[in-house]
Structure 1
């Protein structure tokens, strides 16, 4: 297969910028054109809800230094959107009215925050969002966080660190219950409650007024700051309008991250991959997935046919709790715990059909390599082995 003369990357986030860098690392000498809707050069998202919001950093982790793009002849068009993708004639139309041709194209458009009807408040997805929210988190202010997922919990922790009074509202029975299940969700509820966070769980939002948030139990909260942390929606408009196959709430891609359109690939939040290791189609909205898929897809853009095999991975830091999660658990998986949950120093495992599907280490840092190997292999193990055996030997 001939080397493409021009590769267009739609999306200047972590996946798109990682792909651009990896193309040059692989020796690609053709044109690389990257479109990004923001005016900031590509950056990573985790610090937005962690160090930047806490005031421990003044800027995010940039994907590359400023001179990287010019030094490597990567044409990054910041503040320029792609309005139309035309797979049939291998072109895109940008917001400046230009029609750009491509030989291969990567969709890495990421996600946008979900909003509730009539909602007024902060969201947290971009550097500008984080800067605005941090300036609002002042001591003594009442902060209502709607949503008890990862972003909601990390925002709550940051707000408490700034001396705010915090109320978290969620219709589910525990924080993070969709990802971790009720028992591990209760661990995070206890962590936040111990730091003074008030929870209104099992309670939905009925509506908003200019001064408050109405809950479906008839009460009204009167916050100084409202944060909407109710998840994110992948940006699929381009793919859908272009007729690409969609699946699992994203763009359907094969093992090598190819879409249904010739010479069009997708990576990051929008990519619903037919994952060889997991045996099903999955879409993951986490930092490591964007970085690793972006790096991997560079090979696919250059004609290689290598499957992306990495297991999902993410991490979180809240107060004095640090955790890493590997794999993908299901709602009905068997939970096995090694260590002391009460002291928040433990490893949680999720088993299905006698095989390890996911693992989460909490304030335990000695087992990362073993946990990765075990989850990647979907190791056949027993609960007793996970509780008692040397994890390195199991791996």
Structure 2
């Protein structure tokens, strides 16, 4: 294998490129990224960067000399526009084409948007810097979507003195992911601080004055942030022959086609640990899957299934939220340690007859790491809740 192309220059793509070199690959290695910036970390954007605790250079993942040491054919500021699996060629938006013997797709996701102009989204470093310039004491911010990203941004804006309205179509924010009881606990943190949290409301469009609700009410705002989820960046793969369905569809090895692997937010792969296909938009998974895809591409004779216990975290006000496992599609939620009302607890999530995941609020990392092992070994639900 003389030519490997990695499309996507964020956490997953960088991890893949570094792993290839670390595993001894010394051929041509092309890393394609649609942003002009070198790879940087995204989780701090809605927290430390938005709050101005960190300056932009602190989220850079590798110093220039570290990138140079990888010997990359680095193509930044140009998006991939097409893929020909038969000819093993990636087409770029600047009209050039890059041949490959092996390919890793790590093109990530982009924010969903609402009709209308002028709203912010929060995906890139420039997005975060633009929004933070517009926040401050007395500024009116409407956040559409009370998921983890919207909740984090609302918490930061409140700390900066903004008057925050948080709009959510569901009756209980995050109930689909963490269950109604835990969702109410997380919601209470906003209400206790005076954030105007409105649930069961749908936004029709963004207007010059703010947002227009489906019922006809208009909420005025100086700034609007839309945080209603994301879409995998797969349009450039149309006609390529790869199977695309809510991401690039892969097997348990992260392989999408012969010699083509996917990693990170864009990859929808079969996780044998849970017995379901999944697409995970979390930083830890991006790096781990980038490494796994690179190893499997480079060593096809010794491939290993990618069967992680997904992990994510969120910081909201003084709350540290951590979770291991696959919480979606759970059939029951039970408090395993602590009390919901005290804001310090570990909740367990049942999938079938096993412990599918755990979520902790306000507990030391070592506490939830112990529960991670129970998820990893597929502990029986009855034993876990004991």
Residue 205 of structure 2 aligns with which residue?
207
| Residues 97-136 of structure 1: CA deviation (Å, up to 9, x unaligned) | 2222110011100000000122431000000001001111
Residue 288 of structure 1 aligns with which residue?
284
- Work out whether 1:339 is the aligned partner of 2:335: no
- Going from structure 1 to structure 2, the CA distance change for 1:256 and 1:354 (only over 3 Å counts) comes to same
Residue 30 of structure 1 aligns with which residue?
27
- Work out whether 1:267 is the aligned partner of 2:295: no
- Match for 1:132 among 119, 126, 130? 130
CA distance in 2, matches of 1:295, 1:323: 26
Three-state SS of the structure 1 residue aligned to 2:179 is helix
| Residues 65-113 of structure 1: CA deviation (Å, up to 9, x unaligned) | 2211211212221102221211101111222322221100111000000
Residue 300 of structure 1 aligns with which residue?
296
Q: Is the 8 A contact 1:18 1:63 kept in 2?
A: no
CA distance in 1, matches of 2:351, 2:101: 43
Q: Is the 8 A contact 2:114 2:204 kept in 1?
A: no
Q: Is the 8 A contact 1:69 1:75 kept in 2?
A: no
Structure 1 residues without counterparts, runs of 5 or longer = 390-395
User: 1:3-152 alignment to 2 at 5 Å?
Assistant: 4-59=1-56, 60-152=58-150
Single out whichever of 120-129 and 327-336 deviates more from structure 2.
327-336
CA distance in 2, matches of 1:380, 1:228: 40
Residue 316 of structure 2 aligns with which residue?
318
Aligned residues: 381
Three-state SS of the structure 2 residue aligned to 1:349 is strand
Three-state SS of the structure 2 residue aligned to 1:105 is strand
CA shift at 1:331, angstroms?
4.2
- Going from structure 1 to structure 2, the CA distance change for 1:306 and 1:332 (only over 3 Å counts) comes to closer
- Going from structure 1 to structure 2, the CA distance change for 1:47 and 1:219 (only over 3 Å counts) comes to same
- Going from structure 1 to structure 2, the CA distance change for 1:91 and 1:158 (only over 3 Å counts) comes to same
CA distance in 2, matches of 1:81, 1:217: 39
CA shift at 1:369, angstroms?
2.6
CA shift at 1:216, angstroms?
2.4
Residue 392 of structure 1 aligns with which residue?
none
Residue 378 of structure 2 aligns with which residue?
378
CA shift at 1:350, angstroms?
0.6
TM-score by length of 2: 0.95
Q: Is the 8 A contact 1:181 1:331 kept in 2?
A: no
CA distance in 2, matches of 1:142, 1:56: 21
Structure 1 consecutive aligned stretches of length 4 or more whose deviation exceeds 4 Å = none
Residue 353 of structure 2 aligns with which residue?
354
User: 1:201-240 alignment to 2 at 5 Å?
Assistant: 201-240=199-238
TM-score by length of 1: 0.93
Residue 327 of structure 1 aligns with which residue?
325
CA-based RMSD? 1.4
Q: Is the 8 A contact 2:142 2:210 kept in 1?
A: no
Q: Is the 8 A contact 2:346 2:368 kept in 1?
A: no
CA distance in 2, matches of 1:352, 1:112: 30
Q: Is the 8 A contact 1:34 1:75 kept in 2?
A: yes
Three-state SS of the structure 2 residue aligned to 1:254 is coil
CA distance in 1, matches of 2:267, 2:89: 21
Three-state SS of the structure 2 residue aligned to 1:298 is helix
Structure 2 residues without counterparts, runs of 5 or longer = none
